[in-house]
Amino acid sequence: MKVRFILAFTLILFLLSSFNVSISFTSQFEVEGNEDLLSVRKSAYYAIEYDPITNNTSATYTSILEVENSGTKPITATLVDFALDINSSTIQLLPETPPYSSLSSIGPITQLTWVSSFQPGITYIKYTAEA
């Protein structure tokens, strides 16, 4: 019985040369001012690859910020995003993402700041980095 389990486990490890693990979370914040409403939803994903011996071979962090302006006129706002344990020198903005205004790192925490005018509708801010 024990030998079968070890053989089956070894075969499974051999067949799975690598796999991904993704973690996501979503938070929503609302800022009200007169008739304007700005809401932000964040989704963050860590994709981690392991080899058959369960050694970490690569890790990638992806952040998607969905900024919704439900008002009728543009709203200028400062948007601050925090990421934990990423390599800030590998940050890549995805297409149609405005450039960030500032980038700073304190220990394992990276802070990205955007000062932007958000038009009515939905604006996406997306970036990836090595974790």
126 and 63 in contact (C-beta within 8 Å)?
Answer: yes
86 and 58 in contact (C-beta within 8 Å)?
Answer: no
List, run by run, the mean pLDDT of 10-residue segments along the chain (131 residues): 44 46 53 68 83 77 88 85 89 92 92 90 91 83
Start-end of H helices in the chain: 2-15
What pLDDT score was predicted for residue 13?
Answer: 45
What pLDDT score was predicted for residue 28?
Answer: 53
The span from the CA of 17 to the CA of 1, in Å, is: 25
What pLDDT score was predicted for residue 69?
Answer: 84
What pLDDT score was predicted for residue 47?
Answer: 83
Nearest to 99 by CA among 69, 119, 79, 70: 79
* Residue in the structure block whose two tokens are 């996501």: 24
83 and 129 in contact (C-beta within 8 Å)?
Answer: yes
- Whether the full predicted model's pTM is greater than 0.85, yes or no, is no
